[in-house]
Chains A and B, each alone.
Chain A
Amino acid sequence: MDSLDTKVKNIIAGILGVSVENINDDTAIGDLVEWDSLHHIHIIAAIEKEFGFRFTPDVMMDLEDVSDIVSATEERAGK
């Protein structure tokens, strides 16, 4: 079974239409040209749907790169 880390990266890569190899822990939001506002909203919505929680505005304001998204998801998934 895929780890949460892998699942989150697969979601991001799938929505951006890029290979998952391009998504590393330190890939910052907006680093890839495909990662624009529209795709970011889709990524947030897809993670919320997959893991069954909602990001609050103060959490979203604290997301800078992929590792932040993975950590925030880990803290909230399944709670």
Chain B
Amino acid sequence: MNSIVEQVFIFGLKKRDKVALQNGKSSLTYGGLLGEIIYARKVLVERYHIERSSKVILAADKQIEFVAVYFACHLLEAVAVPIAPDTNAKRYALIKEKICPALVVGFSNEEELPTAFFTDFIGEEKITNEEQIEFPSLDSVADIIFTTGTTGEPKGVQLSHRNIAAAARNINAFIKNTTDDVEMLALPIAHSFGLNRMKCALSNGQTLVLLGSFANIKRFYRFMGEYRVNGFGMVPASWALLKKLSGDELEKYKDNIHYIEIGSAPMSLEDKHLLMDLLPNTRLCMHYGLTEASRSAFMEFHDDAEYLDTVGKESPNMIITVRDELGRQLPPEQEGEICVSGDAVTIGYLDLPPTESFWGDAFRTGDWGSLREDGYLCLKSRKKELINVGGKKVSPIEIEEVLNSMDFVEDCACIGVTDPAGILGEVVKAFVVTESPEKLTGEHMDVLIGNRLEGYKHPAIYEQIDVIPKTSSGKIQRLALTGK
């Protein structure tokens, strides 16, 4: 197995003129991309003294320079830490404290650390086929991806070059991608799903068409035709938005779209059937997985039409087991914690002993479910109390801390409720104990919360409540609030 960056180079040196990235009107060939990566490596070393194991925070914006700097970090065996450009100040500070980065790229507010901008990396070095390029060891850390921990404190998931290469190999094998595929990337690249789509496509020699967001529906359909896009990744909220903004328009592309990868949040049976009806010849591949164990299970709606109420079977090269509280493997049909093994599974969390999150080599997902006799995985519940807003995971505790800091809030609790607009799956609902209920309007609260929380974390619904139900130890009983 070769690292992702090595695969990009192997393909790029053979097919220099093929378009790797299309961003608006500008495109970059594989030859150009390799040149940009080599140039970015030079800038990282000569100007910012980045070396093996240095950690580099990258504002993960969907632009060609991000891709070049990301792979340049890999080439140097430095650790890329891609985070959302709109990360709130508290989370950003915590991440910085945890990793002590040698460089921050793309954040203009950074005042303490060496900072660069993506424009600093615009340039191209010529490379020859004979040039000896040193590629990273598969066992070194490639990325640290920060996920939302249940307490709201970000958890750093360390992924080795072997992990990310194995994940891309597994995903491409299941979806059956070929080098001729042209994929549109409209997902945020700061999250595992979008970042993985980029790695899958470029390591496979495909063309990637960058689109800011599914919200730009006009451009989405224009690019479909203009660049002969034949596949894309989406979260269920993207599909809800496509439906709302364009009805059944996607059906017109049924002969062009070879594959869609879906993930990050549950999709209703109704939507699965609708997609199958609109796109009868498309591979509709839905995954179940976590940043820690990318795409643990997969299903294809047409092939698995009888099993749409499951999350599919284990992905190629992944092993799923269900275990009890002592880590003992349970027989089929018995419920327990879903655990995943395989070379795509994280090498561990930053600064956390593996004993807390692994049974042997099996990663403990924290999710609850059972395996059927025929190998299909049934997901019963998420053990963690995270709220899933359109595929983005939100810790209720992080929001509660912000609300509790307001002088008129005596106490509060947040839960996920079904999005009344039918787009995002879940939205945040806040129950607030207060003597000033008139202040609990969305508009007023949005102003008070401001940039302390990213937009998707702002509660969509507020309700005044007399008392927050709690256990004798003071833990919020969120389940008691779900029926309200």
Contact = CB atoms under 8 A, between A and B. Distances in A.
B212 A37 contact: no
Given A61-B221, A62-B218, A36 B423 contact: no
Interface residues of A, number: 24
Given A33-B61, A33-B86, A38 B218 contact: no
By DSSP majority rule, is chain A's interface helix, strand, loop, or mixed?
A: loop
B455 A37 contact: no
Contacts of B216: 28-30, 63-64
A62 B218 CA distance: 5
Contacts of A61: 217-218, 221, 245-246, 249
A68 B389 CA distance: 28
Interface string B401-434: 0000000000000000000010110000000000
B13 interface: no
Contact of B424 (A17, A28, A38): A38
Contacts of A37: 213-215, 237-238, 241, 390, 423-424
A40 B218 CA distance: 13
Nearest to A39: B455
A41 B218 contact: no
A4 interface: no
Interface string B186-197: 101000000000
Contacts of A41: 215, 241, 244, 421, 423
Contacts of B455: 15-17, 34, 36, 38-39
B245 A36 contact: no
A31 interface: yes
B389 A38 contact: yes
A23 to B, nearest CB: 14
A57 interface: yes
Interface in B223-264: 237-238, 241, 244-247, 249
Nearest to A16: B455
A60 interface: yes
Interface of A: 15-17, 28-41, 57, 60-64, 68
Listed from nearest, the 7 A-B pairs whose CB atoms lie closest are A30-B212, A30-B213, A40-B215, A29-B216, A30-B216, A64-B218, A33-B85
